[in-house]
Amino acid sequence: MPPQDQRGQLFVISAPSGVGKTTIIRSILSEGASLRFSVSCTTRLPRQGEIPGRDYHFLSREEFESGIQAGRFLEWAHVHGKYYGTDGEQIEEWLIDGEDVLLDIDVQGARQVRCAHPQAHTIFILPPSLEALEERLRGRGTESREQMATRLAAARREIQEAHWYDYIVVNDVVQEAAADLQAIFRSCRCLRRLQLERVRPYLIAH
């Protein structure tokens, strides 16, 4: 296993559904952010425009449950009545190769990742207001009235968890939220514990 300062860094983003995580993450990836994005597995159905393998790996309930039995997931959770999970093997390979990895997962998953990887950087994205969140969910038009009510109730609960995350970003204007995220990635890469190898040649014995 490579020393900690040569491993990639793990970034975990959580936000209630509809805040704009996917929009922001697509924006930073299209700008060429040097990060691997972990494509999650889920048992929910694809939305219009979602591409299997790019947006999610869409699994049947049986496939997901046998993945749980086989220890395939770094973390998994029931979210809005469906299974969601992160493939652990792929993440470990990237980290060992020194690549930084971004996970977009809910608060239950984020807690599990923080236990397994205490040095992971956790980021919570907030909407500018609950009214704005409701408007965005309605505007996206991908959920039924019933599903929207479930997601809004879940949003109120999830926001209560924001206090234990390392960073909080408010998604008012997409470009500004994306710039905040890029700033977080950049500053984390300058952390002292990750730069010690670079300092070593300057350390003169007295």
Interface ranges with ligand 5GP (CB under 6 A)? 14, 17, 40, 44, 75, 77, 79, 84-86, 104-106, 108-109
Site for ligand ADP in 127-156 (CB under 6 A): 136, 139-140
Question: Whole-number minimum distance, CB 199 to ligand 5GP, in Å?
Answer: 36
Residue nearest to ligand ADP (CB): 20
Interface residue with ligand ADP, options 5, 23, 120, 134 (CB under 6 A): 23
158: left (phi over 0), alpha (psi -120 to 50) or beta: alpha
Min separation Cβ 179 and ligand 5GP, Å: 21
Contacts with ligand ADP: how many residues (CB under 6 A)?
Answer: 15
Nearest to 43 by CA among 70, 76, 90: 76
| Binder among 115, 173, 183, 191 for ligand ADP (CB under 6 A) | 173
d(CA 56, CA 45): 10
Find the shortest distance in angstroms from Cβ 185 to ligand 5GP: 18
Taking the complex as a whole, the smallest distance from the CB of residue 54 to ligand 5GP amounts, in Å, to 13
CA-to-CA dists, residue 107 to 59, 123, 129, 157, 164, angstroms = 21, 10, 19, 10, 10
Is 36 in a helix, a strand, or coil? strand
- Alpha carbons 162 and 127: distance in angstroms, whole number: 12
User: What does the per-residue mask of binding to ligand ADP show for 69-108, with x meaning CB under 6 A?
Assistant: ----------------------------------------
Whichever of 8 and 27 has its CB closer to ligand ADP, that residue is: 27
Q: Does 109 bind ligand ADP (CB under 6 A)?
A: no
The residue whose two tokens read 């300092």 is 199
Burial 96-127 (b: 16+ CB within 10 A, else e): eeeebbbbbbbbbbbbbbbeebeebbbbbbbb
- Are residues 121 and 11 in contact, defined by beta-carbon separation less than 8 angstroms? yes
Interacting residues toward ligand ADP by CB under 6 A: 15, 17-23, 136, 139-140, 171-174
